[in-house]
Amino acid sequence: MKAKALFMAGLMLSTAASAQDWDKVELKTEALAGNIHVIYGAGGNIGVSAGDDGVFIVDDQYAPLTERVKAAVAGISAAPIRYVINTHFHFDHTGGNEGMGSSGTVIVAHDNVRQRLRAGAFIKAFGKKMEPQRGAALPVVTFNDQMSLHLNGENTRIIHVPNAHTDGDSIIHFRNSNVVHMGDTFFNDRFPFIDVPNGGSISGMIRAAELALSAADEETVIIPGHGMVTDKAGLEAYRTMLLQSRDRVKKLKEEGKTLEEIQTAKPLADMDAKWQTDNPAWADMFVGFIFDSL
**For the segment 173-188, what is each residue's pLDDT rounded down to a tens digit?**
999 999 999 999 999 9
When pLDDT is cut at 50, 70 and 90, the band that residue 5 belongs to is very low
Q: Tell me the percentage of the chain whose pLDDT exceeds 90.
A: 90
d(CA 89, CA 167): 9
Residue-level pLDDT at 12 = 45
Whole-number pLDDT of residue 89: 98
CATH superfamily placement of domain 2-293? Ribonuclease Z/Hydroxyacylglutathione hydrolase-like (3.60.15.10)
Q: Write the pLDDT tens digit of every residue in 240-290.
A: 999 999 999 999 999 999 999 999 999 999 999 999 988 999 999 999 999
Cβ proximity of 196 and 285 under 8 Å:
no
Q: What is the pLDDT of residue 23?
A: 86
Query: What CA–CA distance (Å, rounded) separates 61 from 226?
Result: 11
Tell me the pLDDT tens digit for each residue of 122-143.
999 999 999 999 999 999 999 9
Q: Find out whether 75 and 37 touch, Cβ atoms under 8 Å.
A: no
Residue 18 reports pLDDT greater than 60: no
Sequence spans of domains, the chain: 2-293
Q: pLDDT tens digits for 213-247?
A: 999 999 999 999 999 999 999 999 999 999 999 99
Against a cut of 0.75, is the pTM above it?
yes
Query: Which of 79, 69, 56, 32 minimizes the C-alpha distance to 156?
Result: 56
Measured CA distances, 52 to 32, 79, 97, 150, 274 (Å): 18, 9, 24, 12, 41
List Cβ neighbours of 226 (8 Å cut-off, separation of 6 or more).
Answer: 7, 10, 44, 45, 184, 187, 188, 190
CB atoms within 10 A of CB 217: 9
Coil, strand, or helix at residue 288? Answer: helix
Confidence (pLDDT) at 19: 47
Whether 15 shows a pLDDT value over 80: the answer reads no
Q: Rounded mean pLDDT of the chain?
A: 93
Axis crossing angle, helix 282-293 with helix 202-215, rounded to the nearest 10: 100
Residues above pLDDT 70, as percent of the chain: 93
pLDDT tens per residue, range 61-84: 999 999 999 999 999 999 999 999
Tell whether the model's pLDDT for residue 8 goes beyond 70.
no
Maximum CA extent, the chain:
59
Q: What is the pLDDT of residue 183?
A: 98
pLDDT at 192 over 50: yes
